Copies of this chain bind each other. A is one copy, B any other.
Amino acid sequence: MKRAPENLELPEKDPVSPLDLLEMGVSAAGQEGQSAARLSRLAIVGTGLIGASVGLAAKRAGVELVSGFDPDPAALRVAHERGAVDLAADTPAEAVGTAELVVIAAPVADLSGRAREVLGLVDETCTVTDVGSTKSAVCAATADDKRFIGGHPVCGSETSGPGYASADLFESATWFLTPHAGTDPDCYRLLHGFVASLGAHPVAIDAAAHDRLVALTSHLPHALSNLLVNQAGSTRVEGHEPLASAGGSLRDMTRVAGANPRIWVDIFLENAEPLREALAEHRRLIEQLETALAAGDTGFVGRWIAEAGLHRRHLLAEVYPSVGGLFRLRVHVADQPGVLAGITQVLGAERINIEDLEMQHVSPDRGGSLSIVIAGDDEAHRAAELLETQGYSVVVSDILEEDA
């Protein structure tokens, strides 16, 4: 079965194009240990959650010396205390010193300036990258420099500072890299190997294409989440508050609503153009649905839902290895410490693998609903029977037939 990272590698097409670089990068993936071992001095400019996590993961991967700088002395101190940087520098110049690789982990609005600054400080062989969510602006600002390659780890990051940093943050994450026509192959090879050594999967992509891609996969969902919760939250229906009777669909769809404005104002505005295109297309699709609803066009609505089912199945196939036989067990549980342990123990003892598990808390007095996803019809029903023998009432359903 296909998996996301391989899937996203650009195919080899032209023996003299920058795609060669990507191919070299792909080859380098087979030598992760070597590449990581080759890098001994790393500098991090910006030691918030992502920067400090890069430091911790790099130390774990065997990088000898990590130096760091942050305009916020408190963030730098915490990163140093946590062992994410060995050397806390007073200036960017001191941090980048003799580094072989500089990772810039600054807010997206500051990236271009920081990248130009760092490129002016380091020598000819030093590789420079960033970890921002948008790539066009920083890559345009550095397009004349063979040493800079844009980067973006997709790791569901939180923005709570270096205190929450973790060496595991990039484990299994897609890490986009955006080499350009003039990129130095050695720089690309070094960065590719470094990213792989942190546990991430490097995926090469054109900077502008990256921004159109994340507009669809991340910025549009975030924007719709905000729009939906604002619409539901600001409406009253004859005194009833929609948010007070929110079901599972509204709750899931607004999970990222209101996400950190300090980060997201910049991201939305930096990627305004691709996001506006995605929003305009979304409006067009909504209008199409409105027309079908006005005409009572059951054929359209049926095909539209079926198409969504196919796409959702495709998305799940990227996440789960065995789609087609996924079942959800829904168990009502008391809200008491330890109740989950009992349930998961029973399944663990019988070697039943839990693919996905979610507990939705209702209230302390009424308890909550536990949703357990298990692959395979037989296995799911075996699990349900086991839990029923423990006195739990279980509802089993095919995950792709759900109506929730």
Contacts and interface: CB of A to CB of B under 8 A. Distances in A.
Contacts of A116: none
A361 B230 contact: no
Nearest to A373: B361
Nearest 7 pairs of A and B residues by beta carbon: A258-B309, A338-B348, A233-B311, A158-B397, A226-B308, A341-B344, A258-B308
A24 B109 CA distance: 60
Contacts of A216: 231-232, 235, 237, 242
Nearest to A298: B265
A74 interface: no
Given A168-B332, A258-B311, A250 B397 contact: no
Contacts of A261: 302, 305-306, 309
A93 interface: no
A37 interface: no
A66 to B, nearest CB: 18
Contacts of A302: 261, 265
A289 interface: yes
Give the number of copies in the complex: 2
Contacts of A238: 205-206, 209
Interface residues of A, number: 159
A223 interface: yes
Contacts of A394: 166
A159 B403 contact: yes
Contacts of A279: 286, 289-290, 293
Contacts of A403: 157-159, 259-260, 263-264
Nearest to A167: B393
B311 A229 contact: yes
Given A8-B244, A400-B258, A402-B256, A293 B269 contact: yes
A8 B245 contact: yes
A355 interface: yes
21 contacts: A8-B244, A168-B395, A216-B231, A216-B237, A223-B286, A224-B228, A229-B311, A233-B308, A243-B318, A246-B318, A256-B404, A259-B404, A260-B401, A261-B309, A265-B305, A283-B287, A319-B361, A319-B362, A338-B345, A338-B351, A356-B361
Contacts of A148: none
A181 interface: no
B209 A225 contact: no
A402 B340 contact: no
A164 B244 contact: no
A217 interface: yes
Interface in A178-236: 203, 205-206, 209, 212-213, 216-218, 220-235
A3 interface: yes
Interface in A333-365: 335-341, 344-345, 347-364
A354 B344 contact: no
B315 A251 contact: yes
Interface in A112-162: 154, 156-160
Interface in A258-291: 258-261, 263-265, 268-269, 272, 275-276, 278-283, 285-287, 289-290
Contacts of A63: none
Contact of A314 (B11, B233, B250): B233
A273 to B, nearest CB: 8
A183 to B, nearest CB: 17
Contacts of A320: 361
B249 A252 contact: no
A396 B338 CA distance: 21
A175 to B, nearest CB: 11
A257 B218 contact: no
Nearest to A263: B403
